[in-house]
Structure 1
């Protein structure tokens, strides 16, 4: 009985229309967002695929049936079967094991880019939108220069200058991914910078830095989060493209783009070598897109009104 009452109490605390604290208000908003997300079947499919990717990366040593870089020319290009679930590649390496360990590289790239590019774009966009004038013009023209080049081409230029490698590839992707976030943050800043609560903060003596970090940036976070989720597919494809061209992860590191590159010459005769990592990239990119669409509906009130 007491547990039932406690559960009812927590549910009532999360569904109240009159929150009594900032913490409760945020908890209610998160709970309502989760309920909306849970009702979207496609979003749950995307979330499930992303959860599987994370679990695969965490438990890679337990899920892999072979060492990812172990070569055995006697078992090269074996089709999927009991000994090798997804077959072997041209060097006799187990495709399933390399796919599992490749998920770690994918998450590594996604995590580092998601922690760097949005921050750079958020800072540049909010500063440009708040200060205006020549600061806005200079920062936005620099942003326009980056936006004028296709992301993959610009990333190729940076990697060519920095040298091949997974770290340099991540840096190149981050340097090419921040302009859209700057544009989104600037647009949001121009909307809220003349709001009454910003004027009230200035009257209370808040400086420009405090207003940007404490009042404007939090208002831009929802749009930036949605943009991050929708951009993950492009980031994964860019990383795979660099790996395919030999400028990303270097052998013998298991990376999905590099696996496609090494298996493309066997595509017509031994389809599994290149097709399976390609399907993995497709599923993960689709998962982030499905989740991003749902988050846009939840976090953008204008989408909900429409």
Structure 2
């Protein structure tokens, strides 16, 4: 009974309508977001998938039963799943597909994180500046954004990788360069909605510079929408990276990148279907997990949904 009463008191403290401090208000807001998020069962499934991806990537050297780079070409070439201890079979080089998938999760996670770190802040800054400044600055920045949006992401990424050279680092840079325009559009819309508000006018009257207003007051207001958009775009980033790997423009052999694994297995798709199917299933599961997580975050962070 004591534990239950303590939990109830803490819950009442978090959900108080009159918080006594900023910390209590922030913790209460975070708790309300979690309650809204956890009410969505599919969002919890997506969160479990992404947490599983993180754990697999973190403990890959210990989880992988065999080397992802060296196989038994003489005795274990193109073995079907379940043969001789190879749970997911082997590829044309006799390498364990399960081990390559486990280590490939590190590459997938690295691409997703690096693209988000590069593209999201860039798009947020460009959109916030354009929305707040308006005029010719807005026109120039948005026309540049329109140029990037006029081309399909994969085609534009292929052009950048062709210019920079194949490799996982150049693939990350190319995907980041092609991923920032939607964030800029979103941030611009948010900035235009608040730039004439009383709150921004009061900050301006206090002597804040335009740069301080953009960085300290407008950009933080866009973070909720940005987090949702980035999470929903993770699936597209994974598919673009896999597409570049499939075309030989991303990670180079013998790196166990999932798109490159599909490309190496396309020659055996009719008879040895598992070589290309297993990495394809991994891409589908992770992409679905990010989509479900993004949908749950969108519902939890949307203030219109929170009031229902």
TM-score bracket for this pair, using the shorter chain length: over 0.9
Quote how far apart the aligned CAs of 1:24 are: 1.4
Q: For the Cα contact (< 8 Å) 2:36–2:306, is it kept in 1?
A: no
Q: What is aligned with 2:129?
A: 127
Q: What is aligned with 2:88?
A: 86
Secondary structure of the 2:219 match is: helix
Q: What is aligned with 1:56?
A: 56
Q: What is aligned with 1:102?
A: 104
Quote how far apart the aligned CAs of 1:72 are: 1.1
Q: What is aligned with 1:155?
A: 157
Quote how far apart the aligned CAs of 1:121 are: 0.2
Secondary structure of the 1:75 match is: coil
Quote how far apart the aligned CAs of 1:2 are: 6.5
Q: 2: CA distance between counterparts of 1:296 and 1:41?
A: 14
Q: What is aligned with 1:293?
A: 295
Secondary structure of the 2:265 match is: helix
Q: How does 1:265-304 map to 2 (within 5 A)?
A: 265-303=267-305
Bigger shift: residues 74-83 or 252-261? 74-83
TM-score (norm 2): 0.96
Quote how far apart the aligned CAs of 1:302 are: 3.5
Secondary structure of the 1:194 match is: coil
Q: Taking structure 1 as reference, are residues 44 and 200 closer, same or farther at Cα in structure 2, changes over 3 Å only?
A: same
- From 189, 207, 227, the counterpart of 2:191: 189
Q: What is aligned with 2:24?
A: 24
TM-score (norm 1): 0.97
Q: 2: CA distance between counterparts of 1:13 and 1:114?
A: 35
Q: How does 1:140-289 map to 2 (within 5 A)?
A: 140-289=142-291
Cα deviation, 1:199-228, whole Å, max 9, x if unaligned, reads 110111111111111110111111111100
Q: What is aligned with 2:117?
A: 115
Q: 2: CA distance between counterparts of 1:78 and 1:207?
A: 66
Quote how far apart the aligned CAs of 1:26 are: 1.3
Q: 1: CA distance between counterparts of 2:93 and 2:255?
A: 14
Q: For the Cα contact (< 8 Å) 2:63–2:102, is it kept in 1?
A: yes
Cα deviation, 1:100-152, whole Å, max 9, x if unaligned, reads 00000000000001111010000000000111111000000000000000000
Quote how far apart the aligned CAs of 1:25 are: 1.2
Q: 2: CA distance between counterparts of 1:9 and 1:246?
A: 58
Cα deviation, 1:165-204, whole Å, max 9, x if unaligned, reads 0000000000000000000000000001111110110111
Q: 2: CA distance between counterparts of 1:9 and 1:162?
A: 58
Bigger shift: residues 289-298 or 184-193? 289-298
Q: 1: CA distance between counterparts of 2:252 and 2:10?
A: 51
Give the paired residue count. Answer: 306
Quote how far apart the aligned CAs of 1:7 are: 3.6
Q: Does 1:68 align with 2:78?
A: no
Q: 1: CA distance between counterparts of 2:22 and 2:144?
A: 38
Cα deviation, 1:211-264, whole Å, max 9, x if unaligned, reads 111110111111111100110000000000000000000000110000000001
Quote how far apart the aligned CAs of 1:8 are: 3.8
Q: What is aligned with 2:38?
A: 38
Q: 2: CA distance between counterparts of 1:267 and 1:303?
A: 46
Unaligned runs of 5+ in 2: none
